[in-house]
Amino acid sequence: MGQESGDSVLLTPAVLKLEINSLKELVNTRLNSMEKAIEKSESNFTKQVEKMDLLITTSVRLIDSKIGDLQTRTNLHEGSSKGMKEMYGWIVGIAGVMIAVATFFVKKGGI
Summarize pLDDT for 25-54 with one digit per residue, the tens: 999 999 999 999 999 999 999 999 999 999
3-class DSSP assignment, residue 109: coil
Answer whether 15's CB lies under 8 Å from 3's CB: yes
Say which residue, 10 or 103, is predicted with more confidence. Answer: 103
Indicate whether this model's pTM tops 0.95: no
Whether residue 65 has pLDDT greater than 80: yes
Q: What is the mean pLDDT of the chain?
A: 84
Q: What pLDDT is recorded for position 1?
A: 47
